Structure 1
């Protein structure tokens, strides 16, 4: 048992108490966030860079026991079905069956997330970050609550671009042209876009296999603007839509290149080879731009397929309920988007493909790259998204997810004994004291967002660690990264060259804009971050 923390003892001073961070954790963080000249020297030597990359990747992933996890949401004990039926969500810790009388109801706890007014902005990241993050995670953190059961999922548990190609052959087939390996598309104002899903408010017969979630919530006047794509959240807000259109263009661009280079290949081979290329391209962007932007380290991680397959943690993917919860970054999403000099409320960017067509891809990437994201944490989720925070807490309780303190212990941090060790913000601490009678009662979902951000990162200690463990271990176990598969036979010589040259989202945008004249900015990092020398978020096109 840990020391209890009561409202009567609520602190009034500023400053977080780091005494429960753990000495080893503090030393590692200090080394990785200081000594920039040393890290630059390491990265100038190819062999040393790759070796250090392997060591630091292992260090990040092995902060927790590697897969296979003993349990899934199927049962509170290990069985052969629970180890093999991947229609259930995985879990790191067993269900917490102890009573928790000191926890507030989910709807009360969700009020801790409510944003007042425009909210606070992030000094490091642009609005393009949550756009890419949601698009990326919609591919494998999906289908949670299948059939109304929060234990179930239709996730592929790996990066396979479900959001573009669909979850099964029936969906994929209705999106393909079956000519030259291309996906169906149409041209609007000189730019390529997906076909429209509906006509007169009804889903077209050719797209009957597409089953968008919460379709009943989409207003009828907007249904004719929704794009037909593989993901069941294609009608989400403007950011993920923007990235999905970009990857449709990239697919068709590469398919055309392969068709010209290999005139004897049939449609099927061109399509499948192009998909292989885009899957690995996404993994490279996730690792070398996205994860490098998220970490506060001076070291830049690289994709090295020849190394990861030999790692002790290299096991079949299985997405967990914990990973799903920590990736709900609603506070990063702005309450309005600044588009072409006008503020467009978040509500008006949902299920509205016409915004993309009217503004154009390049200008819209530029708009999102010049607007800061929201600050990650409590008290910064737009009220429109508050029901999602409530549902996240409800699912956490239904699945008996263990406490914040239990997960600190599991992931290599000492248990906290006082809320001073979670946050130095007196407003956050006072709110937590109001709702939770004991620090051990703190929900994981609340605790990870209550934590102070660390070392210039977007996150607190625990959230950052869980993201690091699962992001690395799930991205790097993709079968296409196996040394036997990571060859021209899988991707074609042209595909290998495309993968070699693609290091940032900016690279992909640049080659898919017919209207490009070199002026558009594509960046996960804000001007503040770029001026400070943090170029991990991208570069100008």
Structure 2
């Protein structure tokens, strides 16, 4: 059954239709640099200005039952204070808390909602657009800035920047533990693949995996999380010393961290060859800056292009936006965190070394990467599809672990309804479940559980929507990503006009930045040579 599109809004429909059609016109626009820049600026601004821009008038501080710095309980308030405007240890929020919507008895029992994520008849829905690299990449780069504090979920441990802290650490102290202090490079070791070829990897974190003793050179790097502590010694022995506590959690995460480590060290070699008078510190800092901008460019030009159905390819253009009212200090929001909980994009099984393998076997299992090698494993990853983002498609082991706790957190933080967020983002409020999805079964289950669309929760509503044609994600998810991703990537200090130049990155570094557009570029210059390039892409 087709979805009722009457509540999509004319301007939204027109924008999507225009950007998703007329390819010859878009090709012409993008062939003219001046015209391309003007259109890029117009489209980016048109997305970001759909909602009120930063600073947020509220943060999670409004829900904290204690006055910061004291042990005195306070009344939960929803007014703006100086603390709520500047204390970024509390996560931001787009809409104020809605205690009435979240009051007990108004929403379904959380356990009853498991059916919305469980696969229908055990069947997996695969993406028609995305390879497995897509969810790997998303988890890797979002985990670096969407960092909820597990001791107090109203707070965060984020630097609020796309700063590759998963590679370099969150603090200078952590960064120094990972540096070799020779030639600007990060610490590495050579490890052999099954075929005997050696490749570069981070050093191992544990000195004694049997006893759980950390290598003394990495004391203070991070506190191991519970999953890591419970690992058998043979897996623990292969965990790498990397920037954040979750960096070893999943095979794709480790691949991308390893790739960045190799690229950082490769850039150091190129810089040292061209600037022999540079000391270790300048080589390190410049290589780090170059790599961060490379990743920002890939996010803007390859990743964003992949998730949209558009023919126009957005790009980073620092000079165009500095006078915009949205050009403000970054602050990650709870809604942005929920928008990126794409657990349904991870299949329960994947192909490893030609054999079907349970996905959970890749958790905390770095030996799989070491044995196969980075290039071959990345190519195999890109030869198979991710699963489709949406309801009724989450791996069973992630439903209790991730999906239901996310709904619980939404209620704890008193998030407003799905319809309230549609309205905030410039979509008309829906009046029936068939305006969210054309799938009869989904409509039926939502009606059974929620009764009316006005009672639908933000997180459930996000993923109840149908994925748009030739897109990787649903419409409201795309809108919120467009707003937060563009406004937070483009305000990175390295993209400021007075910083984004040859003086900052060096002429050689400037050339590296402008000659690197894709993940494939990074992979094929950081793996042992073979006869033909590895095929690496987000697109099936």
Aligned to 2:169: 166
**Residue of 136, 140, 144 corresponding to 1:135:** 140
Aligned to 1:485: 499
Check the 8 A contact 2:467/2:474 in 1, yes or no: yes
Separation of aligned partners in 1, 2:36 and 2:495: 19
Aligned to 2:200: 192
In structure 2, runs of 5+ residues without a counterpart are: 63-77, 193-197
Q: What SS does structure 2 have at the residue aligned with 1:123?
A: strand
Q: Give the C-alpha shift of residue 106 in structure 1.
A: 2.3
Q: Give the C-alpha shift of residue 18 in structure 1.
A: 0.7
Separation of aligned partners in 1, 2:187 and 2:349: 31
Greater mean alpha carbon deviation, residues 449-458 or residues 63-72: 449-458
Residues 413-448 of structure 1 show CA distances to partners (whole Å, capped at 9, x for unaligned) of 111111011110011111111211221111110000
Check the 8 A contact 2:306/2:471 in 1, yes or no: no
Aligned to 1:468: 482
Matched, 1:182 2:185: yes
Indicate the RMSD between aligned Cα atoms, in angstroms.
Answer: 1.3
Separation of aligned partners in 1, 2:138 and 2:260: 14
Check the 8 A contact 2:183/2:280 in 1, yes or no: yes
For 1:494-509, list aligned pairs within 5 A.
Answer: 494-509=508-523
**Residue of 418, 421, 434 corresponding to 2:432:** 418
Aligned to 2:81: 79
Aligned to 2:70: none
In structure 1, runs of 5+ residues without a counterpart are: 1-13, 527-541
Aligned to 2:55: 68
Aligned to 2:385: 372
Residues 483-523 of structure 1 show CA distances to partners (whole Å, capped at 9, x for unaligned) of 11111221111110000100111111111011433242101
Matched, 1:525 2:529: no
Separation of aligned partners in 1, 2:127 and 2:232: 32
Greater mean alpha carbon deviation, residues 486-495 or residues 502-511: 486-495
Separation of aligned partners in 2, 1:140 and 1:15: 37
TM-score (norm 1): 0.92
Aligned to 1:121: 126
Q: Give the C-alpha shift of residue 100 in structure 1.
A: 5.8
For 1:334-483, list aligned pairs within 5 A.
Answer: 334-386=347-399, 387-483=401-497
Aligned to 1:155: 158
Number of positions where the alignment pairs a residue of Structure 1 with one of Structure 2: 511
**Residue of 274, 287, 302 corresponding to 1:289:** 302
Separation of aligned partners in 1, 2:278 and 2:489: 30
Q: Give the C-alpha shift of residue 107 in structure 1.
A: 2.6
Q: Give the C-alpha shift of residue 288 in structure 1.
A: 0.4
Cα distance, 1:38–1:100 mapped onto 2, change above 3 Å = farther
TM-score (norm 2): 0.93
**Residue of 48, 59, 82 corresponding to 2:46:** 59
Q: What SS does structure 2 have at the residue aligned with 1:71?
A: coil
For 1:91-110, list aligned pairs within 5 A.
Answer: 91-98=93-100, 99=103, 101-110=105-114
Greater mean alpha carbon deviation, residues 434-443 or residues 93-102: 93-102
Q: Give the C-alpha shift of residue 118 in structure 1.
A: 5.7
Matched, 1:204 2:191: no
Separation of aligned partners in 2, 1:524 and 1:211: 33
Check the 8 A contact 2:422/2:476 in 1, yes or no: yes
Check the 8 A contact 1:180/1:267 in 2, yes or no: yes
Separation of aligned partners in 2, 1:94 and 1:220: 46
Q: Give the C-alpha shift of residue 267 in structure 1.
A: 0.9
Separation of aligned partners in 2, 1:480 and 1:274: 13
Separation of aligned partners in 2, 1:516 and 1:479: 38
Check the 8 A contact 2:208/2:215 in 1, yes or no: no
Greater mean alpha carbon deviation, residues 413-422 or residues 194-203: 194-203
Separation of aligned partners in 1, 2:402 and 2:248: 16
Aligned to 2:279: 266
Residues 5-56 of structure 1 show CA distances to partners (whole Å, capped at 9, x for unaligned) of xxxxxxxxx2211111111111111111111111111111111111111111
Separation of aligned partners in 1, 2:231 and 2:407: 24
Q: Give the C-alpha shift of residue 260 in structure 1.
A: 1.9
Separation of aligned partners in 1, 2:21 and 2:524: 33
Separation of aligned partners in 2, 1:360 and 1:487: 35
Separation of aligned partners in 2, 1:513 and 1:425: 45
Aligned to 1:537: none
Separation of aligned partners in 1, 2:341 and 2:224: 20
Check the 8 A contact 2:419/2:429 in 1, yes or no: yes
Aligned to 1:514: 528
Separation of aligned partners in 2, 1:391 and 1:218: 23
Separation of aligned partners in 2, 1:125 and 1:105: 33
